[in-house]
Amino acid sequence: EFVNRTSVFKGPVGSLKLHLLIEDDRGDSLQVGEIYAELAARRLVDFFFGPYLSPLAMVAAHISNVTNILTMMFGAASPSLFQQGYRRIFTTDVFATDYMTNAMEVSQMMGARTVALVWESNNFDMAVCGGAAAHARRLNLTVLVQQQ
């Protein structure tokens, strides 16, 4: 209500009113599909904020693409999501493969010459560590260990 009272959003013909719908997907991809499809079918939304996790975001991206509803993905850091050709999704987040870029650069500036990477066996950790290894090599750091 504050946003609507203060008229923060201006459109070409005056103030735009914001109506925010929040649904709990319970971290379940089937729920994501049902919620997004229902909101789109009932034409209750003009814009989606995507779910946090990449597997859930993949479901939301598909529905966004089919329904032509623009979707901003938060926290869905898997580059593969954005390589699927979906034309109605975007993010302002850093991809998982770039999470450790700054850490590698600072490590090198502080004199590090080697890096060891150990991760849990899941797609997110593999993307983070894979990106860290690639960036370390670009900085001429020696990657001693890459292990799950």
Tens place of pLDDT for every residue, the chain, 148 residues?
Answer: 666 666 666 666 666 677 788 899 999 999 999 999 999 999 888 899 988 888 899 999 999 999 999 999 987 888 888 888 999 999 888 888 999 999 999 999 999 999 999 998 888 888 899 999 999 999 999 999 777 6
Last residue of a domain, one of 74, 93, 112: 93
- For the question of whether the overall pTM of this predicted structure is more than 0.75, the answer is no
Same domain, yes or no: 23 and 89: yes
Q: Residue 42: give the domain boundaries.
A: 2-93
| Structure confidence at residue 2 (pLDDT) | 65
- Please state the domain count of the chain: 2
Same domain, yes or no: 71 and 41: yes
Contacts (Cβ under 8 Å, ≥6 apart) of 40: 63, 67, 69
Q: Give a three-class secondary structure readout of 15-37.
A: ECCCCCCCCCCCCCHHHHHHHHH
Same domain, yes or no: 61 and 131: no
Same domain, yes or no: 61 and 35: yes
Same domain, yes or no: 77 and 126: no
Which residues is 73 bridged to in the sheet? 91
| Structure confidence at residue 17 (pLDDT) | 72
Alpha carbon 74 to its chain centroid, in Å, reads: 5
Same domain, yes or no: 140 and 127: yes
H or E segment to which residue 11 belongs: strand 10-11
| Structure confidence at residue 50 (pLDDT) | 87
CATH of the domain at 9: 3.40.50.2300
Same domain, yes or no: 89 and 102: no
Same domain, yes or no: 81 and 102: no
| Structure confidence at residue 92 (pLDDT) | 85
Distance CA 9, CA 17 (A): 7
Last residue of a domain, one of 56, 75, 93: 93
Distance CA 38, CA 71 (A): 15
| Structure confidence at residue 80 (pLDDT) | 82
